[in-house]
Amino acid sequence: MTRTDPFNVLWLQSGGCGGCSMSLLCADTTDFHGLLRDAGIRLLWHPSLSLETGADVVAILNDVLDGRVRLDALCVEGALLRGPNGTGRFHVLAGTGLPMIHWVQRLAGQAGVVAAMGSCAAWGGITAGGANPTDACGLQYEDDRPGGLLGADFRSRGGLPVVNVAGCPTHPGWVIDTLMAMAAGELTADALDALGRPRLYADQLVHHGCTRNEFYEFKASAEKPSDLGCMMEHMGCKGTQVHADCNTRLWNGEGSCTRGGYACIACTEPGFQEPGHRFHETPKIAGIPIGLPTDMPKAWFVALASLSKSATPQRVKLNATADHRVVTPAIRKTRLK
């Protein structure tokens, strides 16, 4: 791909809050458009970042559909609203009289890659919660069930399933890195996990890099929102199960949910919006959390937790249920003799 042959990206917003676009604006750059341009990416249109409106937008869409403009990547933000009764008329693209799902289906057939930007576009997300009166779904999933608007067998012109850049909102770094990988021709099927998420962030766990990991190791748990301890046992944190690199690729360069004192609610995973319990609670059976760390058998966790709790240093135990560091680490000689 050369500068004279840009990677054309079209971004549409469907049923959602626009939070993924707001997150994208926090990308770690002082020149957002320059960042894309230097990567050979041309933004054909974005509802918040582009100047075109009305008839000019419709002209862009028709140019793509008629083959006058090549569509390398179709990015969709927000769930696809199929209601009422499959008509899609809960969401009509302004000025066209046609449902958004109509445009998405036709444009997806032209695109080299189709990407779901955020968990609403990927799985249905918050928009599909509750009774789901709008019949909202993801592009290729309904929660964790393949299907969605485009169907389980959909493949883009480039031979890929929908690329699910999931998150609520999705991290700006995930979006930028995914677009750059697409433009460089490096986003292959092997670069996606089993749910179509880019492995550049989905091969990690939120637990990796969490500043509360020492408390986790000793099962020294927080008991209320302001406590410093691990939030897995009592406060609903799912960071040991959730695929994302939030604690190593910090938001705005400095923060994450757990660093801000909030439990990870699994926003990159299908069905996170309806966990079956309050977000700040950890469901248990016989005192054992139902949601155990990824790859850890229940018997191992029980044994490890029992051993860890019995070996918890007093410093860690006291700090876990405080809102500030009560006891600092002891000073010891580290020089070998």
Tell me, yes or no, whether 192 and 281 share the same domain. Answer: no
**CA of residue 117 relative to chain centroid, distance:** 8
Tell me, yes or no, whether 108 and 156 share the same domain. Answer: yes
Burial 26-46 (b: 16+ CB within 10 A, else e): ebeeeebeebbeebbbbbbbb
Q: Is residue 294 part of a domain?
A: yes
Q: Is residue 334 part of a domain?
A: no
H or E element, residue 40:
none
The amino acid sitting at 101 is I
Question: Any binding-site annotation on 75?
Answer: no
Q: Is residue 1 part of a domain?
A: no
Question: Any binding-site annotation on 26?
Answer: no
Q: Is residue 337 part of a domain?
A: no
Q: Is residue 161 part of a domain?
A: yes
**Domain end (from 146, 171, 200):** 200
Tell me, yes or no, whether 212 and 196 share the same domain. Answer: no
Q: Is residue 28 part of a domain?
A: yes
The residue range of the domain holding 75 is: 7-200
Question: Any binding-site annotation on 208?
Answer: no
Tell me, yes or no, whether 304 and 318 share the same domain. Answer: yes
Percentage of the chain beyond pLDDT 90 is: 85
| pLDDT digit string, tens, across residues 150-188 | 999 999 999 999 999 999 999 999 999 999 999 999 999
Tell me, yes or no, whether 196 and 211 share the same domain. Answer: no
**Model confidence, pTM:** 0.93
| pLDDT digit string, tens, across residues 106-140 | 999 999 999 999 999 999 999 999 999 999 999 99
What contacts 121, CB < 8 A, 6 or more positions away? 14, 16, 76, 77, 78, 79, 80, 138, 139, 164
pLDDT reported for residue 157:
96
Question: Any binding-site annotation on 257?
Answer: no
pLDDT beneath 70, residues of the chain: 1-4, 337
Number of structural domains (the chain) is 2
Tell me, yes or no, whether 36 and 160 share the same domain. Answer: yes
**Domain end (from 171, 200, 229):** 200
Question: Any binding-site annotation on 230?
Answer: yes
**Domain end (from 200, 222, 240):** 200
Could you tell me the CATH number of the domain that includes residue 23? 3.40.50.700
The amino acid sitting at 229 is G
User: Is-contact 139 149, C-beta < 8 A?
Assistant: yes
Question: Any binding-site annotation on 20?
Answer: yes
Question: Any binding-site annotation on 137?
Answer: no
Could you tell me the CATH number of the domain that includes residue 259? 4.10.480.10
Q: Is 20 exposed, middle or buried (0-12, 13-18, 19+ CB in 10 A)?
A: buried
